[in-house]
Amino acid sequence: MMKSSSRQGGDKATIFILVMMGLENIGFITLMFTAVLYFYSVMHFDLSASSTTTTNFAGTTLLLSLLGGFISDAYMTRLNTCLVFGVLELLGYTLMIIQSHYKKLQPDPCNDSKCVKGGQALMLYTSIGLFALGAGAIRGCVPALGADQYDRKNPKEQKQLSRFFNWYMLCTTLGATIGITIVVWVNTHKGWDKGFLISVICAFVGLLIIASGKPLYRVRVPGDSALSRILQVLVVSIKNMKEQLPEDSNALYENHDQESVLNEEHILHTDQFRLLDKAAIIPAGYKLPAKWRVCTVTQVEEVKILTRMMPIILSTILMNTCLAQLQTLSVQQGTLMDNHIGSFKFPAASIPVIPLIFMNILLPIYEFIFVPAARKLTGHPNGITQLQRVGIGLVLSAISMSIGGIIEVKRKHEINHHGKRLGLFWLSFQYGIFGIADMFTLTGLMDFFYSEAPAGMRSISTSFAYLSWSLGYFLSTALVDATNSVTSKIGNSKMGWLEGRDMNKNHVERFYWFLAILSVLNFMNYLYWASWYSYKKDAPINMNEENSLKAKSDHTEETGSDKTATPN
């Protein structure tokens, strides 16, 4: 249920949200892309340990977006969820500032991958744990908070909703661009503590800004727990396993009372996963439906929607595994390359700014040129469907990994045979292509999950985009370990492709090509599931329901109340 007045919502409300995420992303993306160097140079992990620790840290952070989405759907408003977990993020930053400032809290250099022990380890993992909890939960609720400011049943606002996700991506990339350039330079030349200080200040100001926009927000009141609604369908369908499904789906139970019509989203019945329809059968002897005895068709369809989404999520995980390499192995490649532009020394950790620059330029072009042109050709309000956007990104990620392997071969040839360092900006090819891929895939996924999700599950569904990102990082860790284990047994050197601290003796290029091959196979798998997926169809508003809505709207305008429930 949404609480709002005519003065709330729309573009004016989302400005506060977009600015907040831009500021918060300054530190977030900086840490995601440079944590590998922090673990390697300050905490003295070896190459493999710094890489896997980074991907585990990033994966956990993004996985916790599900927690933020779950809490904001069921227990707290999305704004309050953001503010509470934002404080935890600030605490994490504060501990990082302290540890990076005082040498006594850092380990001495060693050859072991476990240099950090005792109190030093406790402080390190507490700081990144608090950061992961705070930053992850924010990403599980803020995108849905912004999208809530638009009414999906209003054709004009439906277009603005899709545009919001493009602007959301643009603001986060602008913030990331500032972080990857300015904050990384500060980390490199002035100290990690000062870089973390800039990040915490930006995050704090962002929280103040999003809180100040509260009077303008359309606020969704938390409802039933998403997990509870899902469990009800599963339990009741099992209870009714022996019941016979009616031939006419209209005989299945749906709540059509006036309050339900006004305050809840109704979803049309579909023929997929008919076994779940048994949850909507009213058993003999029960005149009045009750929870855990019978579910509505809408509730059953919610579970069907989430079930249909699962293959899409799984099909995008590998792309984020490829992204993890750009945040770990490619950054470490950059430290072994010539990073001078004239007399200026470009920080290797800032090389991820290249895809961000591409995204900053291409997102407005996509929104103002591509979408209107594609809309005329396809008739689709967004130009192309969300799943088509995702598919384009998957193809580009495979190309990026292929090029990454070629660049690594060239880099090693120059240093091993000519004693020369290859220019850092050769990495721009793989980064630039992947930046375009990310622009298509991440925004497409967020728009897809929000638009397709049931009203009461939009926060947790939007966080599925981050879930895919998270699982991609964990898969990266598993693939790195598995690759080292297998290749150490079959190679003459008895060393894994990615083992040791000397990248000039490793075989990163083979790992890139391995990921490229997997990406091509994954894209073929995605094509099947994308063509299989059927988009959600909301139940149409009949004349009686329309009159009820109109009467309620007229009453709202007369009273000026901001507590009137309007359909989301």
CATH number at residue 204: 1.20.1250.20
What is the reported pLDDT for 364?
86
**Whole-angstrom Cα distance, residue 328 to residue 32?**
9
Q: How many CA atoms lie within 13 A of 496 on its CB side?
A: 15
- Which of the residue ranges 281-285, 410-414, 564-568 would you say has the lowest mean pLDDT? 564-568
- Residue 31 reports pLDDT greater than 80: yes
DSSP string, 325-336: HHHTHHHHHHTT
pTM given for the model: 0.74
Using pLDDT thresholds of 50, 70 and 90, give the confidence band for residue 114: low
Q: What is the pLDDT of residues 41-64, one digit of tens each?
A: 888 777 767 777 887 888 888 889
**How far apart are alpha carbons 441 and 503 in whole angstroms?**
30
Q: Is the pLDDT of residue 541 over 50?
A: no
Residue 283 lies in a domain: no
Residue 89: its H or E element: helix 78-101
Q: What is the pLDDT of residue 83?
A: 93
How high is the pLDDT of residue 391? Answer: 93
What pLDDT sits at residue 85? 94
pLDDT confidence of residue 129 = 93
> Is residue 12, in this structure, part of any structural domain at all?
yes
- Give residue for tokens 């892309």: 33
Do the domain assignments include residue 546?
A: no
Cα-trace Rg, the chain: 25
DSSP H or E stretch at residue 345: strand 344-345
Does residue 247 belong to any structural domain of this protein? Answer: no
Beta bridge pairs of residue 3: 219, 565
pLDDT single digits (tens) 225-262: 677 788 888 898 898 888 888 888 887 888 766 554 44
Domain range for 32 is 2-222+300-532
| Average pLDDT of the residues of the chain | 81
Mean of pLDDT values over 31-40 = 83
Domain count, the chain: 1
Q: Which of 215-224, 450-459, 480-489 has the highest mean pLDDT?
A: 480-489
- Identify the pLDDT of residue 538: 57
CA 360 to mean position of chain CA atoms: 18
Percent of the chain at pLDDT above 90? 20
- Give CA–CA dist 101/187, Å, rounded: 12
**Mean pLDDT computed over 207-211:** 94
Rounded to 10 degrees, the C-alpha dihedral 190/192/195/200 comes to -150
How much is the pLDDT for 567? 31
Residue 563 falls inside a structural domain: no
Average pLDDT over residues 355-379: 84
Look at residue 554 and tell me whether its pLDDT is greater than 60: no
What pLDDT is attached to residue 498?
Answer: 78
Domain presence at residue 564? no
Taking every pair of C-alpha atoms in the chain, what is the biggest distance, in angstroms? 86
- Span 202-220, average pLDDT: 90
Q: Which of 98-107, 146-155, 184-193, 300-309 has the lowest mean pLDDT?
A: 146-155
Inform me whether the pLDDT recorded for 224 exceeds 70: no
Residue 14 in this model has a pLDDT that exceeds 70: yes
User: What pLDDT is attached to residue 566?
Assistant: 34
Better-scored residue on pLDDT, 104 or 211: 211
pLDDT of 271 > 80? The answer is yes
**Which of 300, 216, 285, 204 has its CA nearest to residue 253?**
300
Residue 235 domain-assigned (yes or no):
no
Mean pLDDT of 100-104: 85
- If one compares 130 and 286, the residue with the highest pLDDT of the two is 130
pLDDT-derived band of residue 126, with 50, 70 and 90 as boundaries?
A: very high
Domain for residue 110, yes or no?
A: yes
Overall average pLDDT of the 300-316 stretch: 88
Helix, strand or coil, per DSSP, at residue 423? strand
pLDDT tens, residue by residue, 335-353: 788 887 777 777 766 777 8
